[in-house]
Structure 1
Amino acid sequence: MLITNAHIINEEHETAADILIKNGRIEKIAKQISAPAGTVVYDAKGQWLLPGLIDDQVHFREPGLTHKGDLYTESRAAVAGGVTTYFDMPNNKPAITTRALLAEKYAAAQGRSFANYAFYFGAANDNLEEIAALQRDEACALKVFMGASTGNMLVDDPKVLEGIFRRCPLMVVTHCEDTPTIKLNEEAARAKYGEDVPAWEHPNIRSVEACYKSTELAVSLAKKHGTQLHVLHLTTARELAFFTAGPMAGKQITVEACVHHLAMDARDYAALGNLIKCNPAIKTPEDRKALLRAVMQDRIDIIATDHAPHTAEEKAQSYFKAPSGLPLVQHSLLMLIDLVKKGELNMRTVVHKACHAPADRFGVKDRGYVREGYWADLVLVDPHGQTHVHPSNILYKCGWSPLEGRTLPARIVATWVNGELAYENGTVHPQPRGQRVRFV
């Protein structure tokens, strides 16, 4: 395929060029390319052509929670949103805390994922030897829940944490919230409200102090043991003090923000309630502004989603029963473009943080950039179009979005995965083309 008349946004530059795709990879990028015989020509019409997004934090719910989502349905929604690669979390049922279960999960994904995929290995209090035996290409990283989690995945034994940070051969990726602090805050909320706690109390329960205390521990352990550490979904201005501004290259400790923490704040609980209940919580307008500044300062290195679907019925329950998490992967790029159009981000930064930086930090092989020789994972965006979010066009298995009723100021025109059109003008192509991601 030859893509013509593209406005390419890539590696801090914007260029008008054509792209020739052959055998799934980008063979040539040039101002004008003549189509070889038999080549399909796709006219980009001057619209934005970006590398496909690499979402380093999703919960696609397979195995064990597939009434909420699965690798097929959620990856289908991902390519409709321009996400061409995802890293799925291990808090499944059963939790992915053995290498045998990790291999089973990869086998289940083969031939069923529309986007490229890699999986995390999960840390527990009792699997340190399995962690130490991990191989570089076996998982994208090790996930450590240093805060409340489901099942066996809360690592709260100090000796085990020390062992993980000392012995893990892969990068350690952490969810940082302090469980004892959260439990005390829950007790206080129950004393005040009973079981009918309002959703706007969530950032007070999952408090700044709970986040700060846990992040402080993770950073101190990484510094003590020289561990490569990536802290997920930062939510507070206070925590930013732990992280260094500047280029990501050479950093031992990196951090990400998620689209909902950049786009929403505590005022949104009034309208959306438990629909935006997530861990860590969406916090104050001042925290949101601090996160956006930190993205522009290169203090925050990566942008992801933490896509985490639940059924509408589950979300409609009272505060303590409603699960945390919200579905975002179909609309994350459009949400970021909305921030660009509001003047809070710029498009080159979005591409860097959501495409290039995840590839670099995790060592993804031949993806994350528009480069000759790389896999043709691409997304074409109409920056002058609009996308109205409505139940009729939501592809998540759960069938809802916290953005319902909103009109986002751009449109995903097409997505290519491994050189094949995976999505075009509202239609996902029926054949899943995703491949297992390889790492260098």
Structure 2
Amino acid sequence: MILIKEVNIVNEGKVKTEDVLISNDQIVKIGSGLSVDGNFQEIDGGGLHLFPGVIDDQVHFREPGLTHKGDIFTESRAAVAGGVTSFMEMPNVIPQTTTQELLESKYQIGKANSLANYSFYMGSTNDNLEEVLKTDPNTVCGIKIFMGSSTGNMLVDDPDTLKNIFRNAPILIATHCEDEATIRANTQEFVQKYGDEIPFKYHPVIRSEEACYLSSSKAIELAKKNNTRLHILHISTGKETGLFTNEIPLGEKRITSEACIHHLWFSDQDYDEKGAFIKWNPAVKTKNDRDQIWKALLDNRIDVIATDHAPHTLEEKQNPYMKAPSGGPLIQHTLTAMLDFYHEGKITLERIAEKMSHAVAECFEVKDRGYVREGYKADLVLVDLNKPWTVQRENIRAKCGWSPFEGHTFKSSIEKTFVSGHLAYSDGKLDERKMGQRLTFDRK
């Protein structure tokens, strides 16, 4: 048993100083003046804040087939060090996760190697509808559709296939929305002018507002027509935020959306300095887009925060524009980045817990996680809000060994991370002996 004493619990819209008792994988008691008989570990929570563990609904951990970039073990290690206790991982690996057999093999990798709790998306293509429809809603986080090509070509652009998936999906559909025809036309124009050496500042012009809006609005139209449970990933434009509503409680929404750390932090003004290191799909766009995403996040048109953690090697990223892949590592720094925004007065601690834990659990109907509640799984993060640290190569846990935040000093530190009741990270050290659990979902 573990007893955390007199800690500031950030949970369900409040910050309250209480004790938390953990036994096995559960929170068994929350209250003041708790005591325990027998053997237990006591942790002094005085002056610290306890958050529900972050649930990241969009990561690319690169296993199988792309493990020179990252793997389930190394990237879950980075997750836990950053306070992320659960992740949902994408299917654009090698081989692509497009059959139930390949999906189950990934779950076996997670069981053997993931320090965090895990779930994996079933991937869709233009010709695997039968396999997609076999997906179990209670043991799989969702179905992923790339409505724009990204790392690994899994583009689904056949109208009949899209209609059938949206009409018949037994589970939440998560979409990457960029219009492929628009991107190809824009790319051709810039290649004719610059060849491979396109300046990175034109990435948001190539993967434009129009490309994002066309695809997102198409997905929403399909979802409304078929009453599909749709979740649109990584909103990157202000225009797209107008597609979503805050007039319906999250638990009743059929269409939800996500903002990612890089779209909340960076803007197109950063390309001259960062170049390929902030090249994501969809692209980091203008300061106005960033401001509009923030507005939609805070007024609940955008529901959750994620990372789109997608590592590539330093060597790959140092290529010219046309050869430099999109994506980068973010999962270790996601919570501390949001806490910097708290220090700036942009967001409260309570809203951080809501957008990174509570709302993700509600959106995906994750069973018994995402809150600091008695009877729930003990996925918890202990934070020192006033302990600065600087991102350097030697403290980056992701396998790729670099970060777009390198050199930045965060104002807050992750002190301890509990994964399903296990103290997986403490004072800079990881316990790599015990693995996380498979997420389950309470879907009716």
Give yes or no for TM over 0.5: yes
Query: Quick check: 1:35–1:41 contact (8 Å CA) kept in 2?
Result: no
Question: Superposed, which structure 2 residues align to 1:121-132 within 5 Å?
Answer: 121-132=122-133
Name 1:381's counterpart in structure 2.
Answer: 383
In 2, distance between residues paired with 1:151 and 1:235? Answer: 20
Query: Quick check: 2:150–2:281 contact (8 Å CA) kept in 1?
Result: no
Name 1:421's counterpart in structure 2.
Answer: 423
Question: Superposed, which structure 2 residues align to 1:282-297 within 5 Å?
Answer: 282-297=284-299
- 1:430 Cα deviation (Å)? 2.3
Alignment partner of 1:260 is 2:262 = yes
- 1:191 Cα deviation (Å)? 2.0
Deviations 1:30-54 (A, max 9, x none): 0220132211111112211000000
Name 2:71's counterpart in structure 1.
Answer: 70
In 2, distance between residues paired with 1:408 and 1:74? Answer: 20
Question: Superposed, which structure 2 residues align to 1:153-192 within 5 Å?
Answer: 153-192=154-193
In 2, distance between residues paired with 1:286 and 1:151? Answer: 30
Mean alpha-carbon deviation: is it higher for 101-110 or for 119-128?
101-110
Question: Superposed, which structure 2 residues align to 1:130-141 within 5 Å?
Answer: 130-141=131-142
Q: Which runs of 5+ in 1 are unaligned?
A: none
- 1:215 Cα deviation (Å)? 0.3
Quick one: which amino acid aligns to residue 167 of structure 1? N
Name 1:86's counterpart in structure 2.
Answer: 87
Among 297, 300, 306, the alignment partner of 1:298 is: 300
Quick one: which amino acid aligns to residue 131 of structure 2? E
Query: Quick check: 1:124–1:152 contact (8 Å CA) kept in 2?
Result: no
Alignment partner of 1:355 is 2:357 = yes
- 1:150 Cα deviation (Å)? 4.7
Mean alpha-carbon deviation: is it higher for 115-124 or for 426-435?
426-435
Name 1:214's counterpart in structure 2.
Answer: 215
In 1, distance between residues paired with 2:166 and 2:317? Answer: 35
- 1:152 Cα deviation (Å)? 5.1
Query: Quick check: 2:139–2:439 contact (8 Å CA) kept in 1?
Result: no
Query: Quick check: 2:361–2:369 contact (8 Å CA) kept in 1?
Result: yes
Quick one: which amino acid aligns to residue 287 of structure 2? P
- 1:203 Cα deviation (Å)? 0.3
Alignment partner of 1:10 is 2:14 = no
Distance 1:151-1:384 versus aligned 2 partners, 3 A rule: closer
In 1, distance between residues paired with 2:121 and 2:73? Answer: 18
In 2, distance between residues paired with 1:24 and 1:334? Answer: 25
Name 1:39's counterpart in structure 2.
Answer: 40
- 1:122 Cα deviation (Å)? 0.3
Query: Quick check: 1:80–1:426 contact (8 Å CA) kept in 2?
Result: yes
Name 1:433's counterpart in structure 2.
Answer: 435
Deviations 1:321-368 (A, max 9, x none): 000001000000000011111122221111101001111111111110
Name 1:342's counterpart in structure 2.
Answer: 344
Among 375, 383, 399, the alignment partner of 2:401 is: 399
Deviations 1:153-201 (A, max 9, x none): 1101011000110011011110000010000110111122222101110
Among 306, 312, 315, the alignment partner of 1:313 is: 315
Quick one: which amino acid aligns to residue 299 of structure 1? R
Return the TM-score normalized by structure 1: 0.99
In 2, distance between residues paired with 1:241 and 1:291? Answer: 10
Deviations 1:300-327 (A, max 9, x none): 0000000000000000000010000010
Name 2:117's counterpart in structure 1.
Answer: 116
Mean alpha-carbon deviation: is it higher for 25-34 or for 149-158?
149-158
- 1:432 Cα deviation (Å)? 3.3
SS at match of 1:330: helix
Return the TM-score normalized by structure 2: 0.98
Deviations 1:236-293 (A, max 9, x none): 0101111002431211100000011001111111110001100000000001011111
SS at match of 1:111: helix
Query: Quick check: 1:125–1:152 contact (8 Å CA) kept in 2?
Result: no
Q: Give RMSD over aligned pairs.
A: 0.9
Name 2:237's counterpart in structure 1.
Answer: 236
Mean alpha-carbon deviation: is it higher for 22-31 or for 131-140?
131-140
Query: Quick check: 1:418–1:433 contact (8 Å CA) kept in 2?
Result: no
Tell me the matched-pair count.
Answer: 440
In 2, distance between residues paired with 1:6 and 1:328? Answer: 27
Quick one: which amino acid aligns to residue 91 of structure 1? N
Deviations 1:126-162 (A, max 9, x none): 0011112222124210000000135551101011000
Quick one: which amino acid aligns to residue 194 of structure 2? Y
Distance 1:389-1:150 versus aligned 2 partners, 3 A rule: closer
Name 2:30's counterpart in structure 1.
Answer: 29
SS at match of 1:359: helix
Query: Quick check: 1:57–1:307 contact (8 Å CA) kept in 2?
Result: yes
- 1:420 Cα deviation (Å)? 1.2
In 1, distance between residues paired with 2:227 and 2:377? Answer: 33
Query: Quick check: 2:93–2:152 contact (8 Å CA) kept in 1?
Result: no
Quick one: which amino acid aligns to residue 338 of structure 2? L
In 2, distance between residues paired with 1:63 and 1:222? Answer: 31
Name 1:329's counterpart in structure 2.
Answer: 331
Mean alpha-carbon deviation: is it higher for 195-204 or for 185-194?
185-194
Distance 1:375-1:210 versus aligned 2 partners, 3 A rule: same
Name 1:20's counterpart in structure 2.
Answer: 21
Runs of 4+ in 1 over 2 A off after TM superposition: 149-152
